[in-house]
Amino acid sequence: MSLLEFKHVAFSVADKNILSDISVSAEAGDFISVVGPSGSGKSTFLKLCSDLISPTKGEIFYDGKNFMDYSPVELRKEIGYCFQIPHLFGSTVMDNIKFPYAIRKKKPDMERIKSLFDQFRMSDDYLNRDVENLSGGEKQRLSLIRSMLFMPKILLLDEVTSALDVDNTLLVEDIIASVNASGTTILWITHSPEQSRKYANKILTIEEGRVKSFEEVAK
């Protein structure tokens, strides 16, 4: 059984078909790069995977069960996501870090939090900083840390290295590869052909709202 499965999924807004007849599945442990021209529907596809929006046709299954049969909080715990322009909230970095603990009614695990900041080469005095004053790249890394506090079964990444310099891009790629090696399934939208082939075992190409190809990467 696939971990995530789309069956004839379409998404349209008003009369515009943004995605049509998408039938693809991700197996546990996959690292899938999602590529395609700008405006082809990649981000919309990831939003459907993360339950941020719902299909206008077709069905999505997680672990064999229809998305509709899960509560939004249940799915949120299993499927994490990070977007190119992260949605941060509250006023401080800590407000964002506390959130995944709050929805689980747990106290923040400071040891885990500090070790993640350390892994991303950010000092822990970031915790008291105001999110408004972070650079685009710092926001992207904070958003990644937030999604990794409780490791999800599936991690969805939408151009998460777009605001990072070369060194931080390599750092983040390494972290994502190790997250995948520890069992988390990754779906990663990237513009860089090099990045798309580096770690992925499969490449999903979307063009004009349809699956153009879904192929294994020859290693």
Q: Which of residues 82-141 bind Mg ion (CB under 5 A)?
A: none
Tell whether residue 162 is a contact of ligand ADP (CB under 6 A).
Answer: no
Nearest distance in Å: CB 150, ligand ADP: 27
Min dist CB 43 to ligand ADP, Å, is 3
39 makes contact, choosing from Mg ion, ligand ADP, none, with CB < 5 to 8 Å by partner type, with: ligand ADP
The answer to whether residue 9 forms part of the interface with ligand ADP (CB under 6 A) is: no
Q: In sequence order, what DSSP letters do the residues of the chain get, joined into one string?
A: --SEEEEEEEEEETTEEEEEEE--EE-TT-EEEEE--TTSSHHHHHHHHTTSS--SEEEEEETTEEGGGS-HHHHHHHEEEE-SS----SSBHHHHHHHHHHTTT----HHHHHHHHHHTT--GGGGGSBGGGS-HHHHHHHHHHHHHSS--SEEEEESTTTT--HHHHHHHHHHHHHHHHTT-EEEEE-S-HHHHHHS-SEEEEEETTEEEEEEEPP-
Binder among 2, 43, 92, 195 for Mg ion (CB under 5 A): 43
Residues 20-59 that bind ligand ADP (CB under 6 A): 36, 38-44
Q: Is 85 in the site for ligand ADP (CB under 6 A)?
A: no
Residue 25 makes contact with Mg ion by CB under 5 A: no
Which option in Mg ion, ligand ADP, none does residue 44 bind, with CB closer than 5 to 8 A by kind? ligand ADP
Q: What residue ranges bind ligand ADP (CB under 6 A)?
A: 13, 18, 36, 38-44
